Amino acid sequence: MSTFPDFSGVVLFAKGGRPIYHRAFGYQNFVTKEKVDTASVFELASVSKQFTAMIIMQLKEENKLNFDDGIEKYLGQLHYGNITIRNLLNHTSGLPDYQAIMDAHWDKSKVADNDDIIEYLRKYHPPKLFEPGTQYEYSNTGYVLLASIAELVSGEDFIELSRSKIFRPVGMNATDIRTLPEKTNIKNFAWGHIYVAEEQRYVQADSFPYSNYTIWLGNRKGPGRISSTSSDLLRWDRALYSERIIKQLTLEEAFTPARLNNDSLSYYGFGWDIRTSPNGKRIVRHNGDNPGYKTQIIRHLDEDKTLIVLCNNAHKEFEKVVERLDKLLEDE
């Protein structure tokens, strides 16, 4: 890490659930110079998707839905045809990007939630990008719909579902889906920052106009918005080796490549990218990217090794940092 002296965040290596390296770098706030520590809370960005997928899998075990149900069974106002819950989970739905529609038409003095997003998809009905099941394209829209379907079949708010089905049972006491005021009240919250070359300093990411969507889309649920710590993510990792919150048989679906209509495979499961190491071992991982934040969790399933990297200064060489750290973990 000394080769990346301006990196701000936390790195956690674990083997068999035991941390073998857990260090913090940089600042929670670059103005006040409050330092990051290993208990600092970070926005996870799209690392959140694995939790949304887990709730859907739990509801499937409770016989409240099936992966191959058409979404119009639950969201009849959306007429996109032949899209299943499975398509939403593995990003093969072909749904258009909700953010583009909201950016074009939403009154940004208001804060949109999932119902607003679904209504604007219905009202403006942008066309599908491709027919469901024919290809993979990463879709935040799909995960908004998954959270809304979870609310409909359970009768509970998605935030409370996340708490009752995952965060509390796993002991993730520092993890939640938080509003901006709630984040402000957390003493050890690591705020996202972006480097401004002209000023030669890091500036808080939410001060940039292009970050405004995090405010006016601030009530969306499903594709992101979970904030957590490295230690809580290790607790999550451990729970996934047990049957504390889901049966292993069901969980295997999350780590299974999607089969497309032409019988080829897409290597994204339910909330996880799926890889194979050079020595044939299974790896699942997911990254996150929000203004000021870059995050990654990598799980070497067959060797029970875990890498968690949370960064709050959107480091320009984040991917290289992760690549080199993961190589060390492979060699450990």
Distance CA 123, CA 157 (A): 24
Specify whether 277 is catalytic. Answer: no
Distance CA 102, CA 69 (A): 27
- Whether 193 contacts 292, CB under 8 Å: yes
Distance CA 50, CA 226 (A): 11
Distance CA 26, CA 133 (A): 43
Question: What are the backbone dihedrals phi and psi of residue 190, each rounded to the nearest 5 degrees, phi first?
Answer: -90, 105
Catalytic-role residue among 2, 8, 40, 46: 46
Q: Which two tokens stand for residue 232?
A: 């809580």
As annotated, the active-site residues are 46
